[in-house]
Chains A and B, each alone.
Chain A
Amino acid sequence: GEDVEQSLFLSVREGDSSVINCTYTDSSSTYLYWYKQEPGAGLQLLTYIFSNMDMKQDQRLTVLLNKKDKHLSLRIADTQTGDSAIYFCAESKKGTGRRALTFGSGTRLQVQP
């Protein structure tokens, strides 16, 4: 199957760390992505990780990949109110002839001041 699953909602306090989790089912996935969608806007690419990596860090963002468990997480350090948005996890596959992504349903992150 090609399911990508995420929890629907996460609430944190400003200054805390946020961890958004995602599971996927297809072990042939090559790249895994995190996108951010602010209200009324399109999707903004935050970061991505190749499937042979375990971790990727980019400023306040840390992506962890557990390939054995097919689990991906996005950690946002020192979460700010401007981080409030919907976060989508997505996967892509190599060599299928399709270059589209399979998206999760999105996690709405609410940051309390």
Chain B
Amino acid sequence: DVKVTQSSRYLVKRTGEKVFLECVQDMDHENMFWYRQDPGLGLRLIYFSYDVKMKEKGDIPEGYSVSREKKERFSLILESASTNQTSMYLCASNLRGFLSQPQHFGDGTRLSIL
């Protein structure tokens, strides 16, 4: 089974802090994604990466950056956390292919910014 592991289930940080959310997958997937989930809005894509050191902006990249130094690890960075970034963050991965492959998700990190 594919395993996508997010380093923290719950995280509490203060406004202005630099926050790192980590995600690791064990299936040698090329693609990795970061979403945020808010009530009534579903999942919205922040960033994705299709290879090591490669990244593309999603629908809501403002206030975030990402890092993909190794294939198995994809980090989401909040450069200066703000209260409107309080949310559930979900990481996902899938195989690159001509046709879309199903995405596999981690259990999520619930982040609170005080």
Count of inter-chain pairs, beta carbons less than 8 A: 62
Contact status A100-B48, CB under 8 Å: yes
In the complex, A40 Cα to B50 Cα: how many Å? 28
* Interface of chain B: mostly helix, strand, loop or mixed: strand
Q: Does B80 contact A (CB under 8 A)?
A: no
Does B107 count as interface, using CB distance less than 8 angstroms? Answer: yes
Interface size class of B (residues with CB under 8 A): 20 to 34
The answer to whether B108 and A41 have CB atoms under 8 Å apart is yes
Report the separation of the CA atoms of residues A94 and B98 in the bound assembly, to the nearest whole angstrom.
8
Query: What's the Cα separation between A92 and B102 when bound, in Å?
Result: 10
Question: Which of A10-18, A58-66, A72-80, A101-109 contacts the other chain?
Answer: A101-109
State whether the Cβ of B99 lies closer than 8 Å to any Cβ in chain A.
yes
Query: Quick one: CB contact mask for A69-113 with B, threshold 8 Å, 1 for yes?
Result: 000000000000000000010101110001111011110000000
Complex CA distance for A105 and B99, rounded to whole angstroms: 24
- CB within 8 Å of A: which residues of B? 4, 6, 9, 31, 33, 35, 40-45, 48, 50, 56, 58, 90, 92, 94, 96, 98-100, 102-108
